[in-house]
Structure 1
């Protein structure tokens, strides 16, 4: 059963909209050319967007082969490729804002949007980097906007090492850049603690998955 969504105190009262990025993003250099940017509360009224996406996105439950058996993917998924209409106009606004802020540094626009619906603490994603396609060989960026209840996003150096945790939800933005997809891994671990549902929207350039 999906845990009940706990709205933030202002999440439904605030007007749905994006704050500035310039001057409000905090960058952390991780080493080996990898970095992350954090912008807490970038999207105001984020609980409204969560409700819209939860109800309107055509979520898919997938199964994948894991060693010698086929297992359920522990989250719901949706993907919007180049030219697809995004499920809410504020996501178009978010992509344009990301392009305006990161375009010179990235050298290209964000093209696709992948959505993940973590229904409760049993849903998760294992340690990985977005290395399918160009992310495995080139520096790139992946921008993740989180709505719904916060969940822990963990990062660690590829091959092991001390991890970093950021609890993301209610309109928070994280951008993983530089060599981050090649030299670091990230995960949303399962948790036995009470955890409400969360949706993440991952904006990526062409050829990065």
Structure 2
């Protein structure tokens, strides 16, 4: 895997920056919203290298219609109570909880990590509706580290598609009804792109 670092990410500190007024909220239809904070994690390129080595990445196979297929990305899930693989992720979760706990009503507790090795890796249209996300408003906070990739969002049942290029420490938070009334995806691309790590922080009972 070849990773092109960002020319703007050259600091020595590794960890989250401020949130507050630096977060831009966009209200969507059906009670959904997204917050975006570009470049939230400083030293994100160094963090990418650390996570690439420290995380026990594994491949999965899943049933898709009438056959079993390879999941087109590598995965690792840190359930509640399992130590995260880097102190910077502990700091990120703490900062997210400080900013969103009052609105969310509970803390973020788990972290799912995905490694997109190149443009052939992807995730299909979906919402995080395993568990409470299928019936309740909730939040999913995603930190993107590495080469930017397009994250697409669209209303369930059709409608205009929103596109955000996320990488090098960018943060997007999907809140309100977003998981059950909207879908999101990382599409495959034929362009030569480097690897990206996605870190998804979720509350208890949301997958």
Specify if TM > 0.5: yes
Q: How does 1:151-166 map to 2 (within 5 A)?
A: 151-166=149-164
Q: How does 1:77-96 map to 2 (within 5 A)?
A: 77-96=75-94
The partner residue of 1:51 within 42, 49, 52 is 49
SS in 2 for 1:55: helix
Q: How does 1:139-178 map to 2 (within 5 A)?
A: 139-178=137-176
The partner residue of 1:26 within 9, 24, 27 is 24
Q: Please give the per-residue CA displacement for 1:42-70, whole angstroms capped at 9, x wherever unaligned.
A: 00100011001111100010011111211
SS in 2 for 1:60: coil
SS in 2 for 1:36: strand
Partner Cα distance (1:175, 1:13) in 2: 25
Deviation at 1:13, TM superposition (A): 4.0
Partner of 1:6: 4
Q: 2:150·2:163 contact (CA, 8 Å) conserved in 1?
A: yes
Partner Cα distance (1:17, 1:82) in 2: 21
Q: Please give the per-residue CA displacement for 1:74-133, whole angstroms capped at 9, x wherever unaligned.
A: 000000001000000010000010000000000000000000000000000000000000
Deviation at 1:17, TM superposition (A): 2.3
Confirm whether residue 189 of structure 1 aligns to residue 187 of structure 2. Answer: yes
Deviation at 1:12, TM superposition (A): 4.7
Partner of 2:114: 116
Normalised by the size of structure 2, how large is the TM-score? 0.98
Equivalent pairs counted in the alignment come to 207
Partner Cα distance (2:137, 2:36) in 1: 18
The partner residue of 2:36 within 11, 18, 38 is 38
Partner Cα distance (1:119, 1:185) in 2: 23
Q: Please give the per-residue CA displacement for 1:113-159, whole angstroms capped at 9, x wherever unaligned.
A: 00000000000000000000000000000000010000000000001
Normalised by the size of structure 1, how large is the TM-score? 0.97
Partner Cα distance (1:53, 1:97) in 2: 19
Query: Any stretches of 5+ residues in structure 2 without a counterpart?
Result: none
What is the RMSD of the two structures over their aligned residues, measured on CA atoms?
A: 0.8
Query: Any stretches of 5+ residues in structure 1 without a counterpart?
Result: none
The partner residue of 2:71 within 69, 73, 89 is 73
Confirm whether residue 199 of structure 1 aligns to residue 189 of structure 2. Answer: no
Partner Cα distance (1:17, 1:95) in 2: 11
SS in 2 for 1:135: helix
Partner of 1:61: 59
Deviation at 1:10, TM superposition (A): 3.8
